[in-house]
Structure 1
Amino acid sequence: MTTSAAIRFSATLQCPAEPKAATWTFLVLPAAASAKLPTRSLVTVEGTLAGQHFQATLQPDGAGSHWLKVEKVLRASAGVVAGDRVDLVIAPVKEEPEPLVPADVRKALAAAPEAKAVWNSLTAVARRDWIHWITSGKKAETRVKRIATACDMLASGKRRACCFDRSGMYSRGNMGAPVAAE
């Protein structure tokens, strides 16, 4: 991470209200820190949390900022708990990593060679956007429908998920930071 691109801030670790037995925490980036990032949508960063190195993809909060899911392992290695105010130093990665493709999406692409050919020609960011669009629906039926629609659109040569608001700012509640437990 280059120090000239480093974004420094402090934020409070919070527990999500749901699920109640969550083993992870999260924090919301201050607006000033988020504004220094290259996009309002998903962005992968590397940096330190309470001095511990990490790499993670920040999620849009739907209000022009971002939030970070902090897994139990990172929290334990940093020696912090929910409620603590933590110091972070982050910077966008030079190259976005390949997204993890869910099994049902892999299976659908394998069954649609034309769609898979276009999929393979996409950038990691474009593949991540497709996956995010497919998985951001709240119902299982929506996911199944979106997988079929994605395969059809890819097979026809479409390279981007149509009308997908990457920032969550114009969606009806599909994106956002978790609600914090009280």
Structure 2
Amino acid sequence: MIDFYPFIFETTLTQELNGKRLMSPGIVLDKALTKELPFDRYPKLRVDGEINGFAHQGAFVPIYGGHYMMVSKRLRKAIGIELGDLIAIHFKIADQNAVPIPAILQEAFEDAPDARDLWDDLPVGKRRSWCVQIDKAKAHQTKQNQISKLFDLLYNG
């Protein structure tokens, strides 16, 4: 089998790191891999990969003397994993400046290209935060409300 991900390891889904409780179940990065990754340039290292064969994008963040990536409840349910289960992680370093834009926001930008220009001027972290906020909303109207708030910020500061 050919694997397109240069970094591979197995671990258990945990909610503890170095004896301290984490806010959510997740993956603790294998210490051996820590030395191979560019945490000196990117303390919150974004990665693209798979957890037990399911596509996942996330970030390993420094905490309690290690690096941890949260695994959402939705993804845990889709994969069928619980705390303590053995999981396989395959990943590559992602484009650290990439911001995946939800389809509904992309459509709004198509109707307002000047808003897209203002959007592109926002810092990457702000853009990513807005995308997450819009994407996690469940109701279509809530997504629309978030986009209205974003456009108000873009146009009126």
TM-score by length of 2: 0.53
* Matching residue of 2:37: 37
8 Å contact 2:5–2:90 — kept in the other structure?
Answer: no
Number of aligned pairs?
103
For 2:121, the aligned partner's letter is N
Q: Which has the higher strand share?
A: 2
Counterpart-to-counterpart distance in 2, 1:71 and 1:12? 15
**CA pair 95-42 structure 1, distance change in 2 beyond 3 A:** closer
**CA pair 95-14 structure 1, distance change in 2 beyond 3 A:** closer
* Matching residue of 1:82: 83
| Matched ranges for 1:117-128 at <5 A | 120=121, 124=124, 127=125
Gaps of 5+ in 2: 101-117, 130-157
8 Å contact 1:13–1:86 — kept in the other structure?
Answer: yes
- Cα drift, residue 58 of structure 1: 1.5
More RCO (CA 8 Å, sep 6+):
1
Gaps of 5+ in 1: 100-116, 132-182
**CA pair 89-80 structure 1, distance change in 2 beyond 3 A:** same
Counterpart-to-counterpart distance in 2, 1:95 and 1:14? 25
8 Å contact 1:8–1:88 — kept in the other structure?
Answer: yes
Q: Does 1:12 align with 2:17?
A: no
Counterpart-to-counterpart distance in 2, 1:18 and 1:36? 26
8 Å contact 1:13–1:81 — kept in the other structure?
Answer: yes
CA RMSD across the alignment? 3.3
**CA pair 43-7 structure 1, distance change in 2 beyond 3 A:** same
* Matching residue of 2:28: 28
Q: Could you say what secondary structure the match of 1:10 adopts?
A: strand
Q: Which has the higher helix share?
A: 2
**CA pair 29-95 structure 1, distance change in 2 beyond 3 A:** closer
Post-superposition CA distance 1:95-122 (Å, at most 9, x none):
43349xxxxxxxxxxxxxxxxx9x9375
TM-score by length of 1: 0.46
For 1:47, the aligned partner's letter is G
Counterpart-to-counterpart distance in 2, 1:11 and 1:59? 17
| Matched ranges for 1:54-133 at <5 A | 54-61=56-63, 63=65, 65-98=66-99, 120=121, 124=124, 127=125
Q: Could you say what secondary structure the match of 2:98 adopts?
A: coil
- Cα drift, residue 59 of structure 1: 0.7
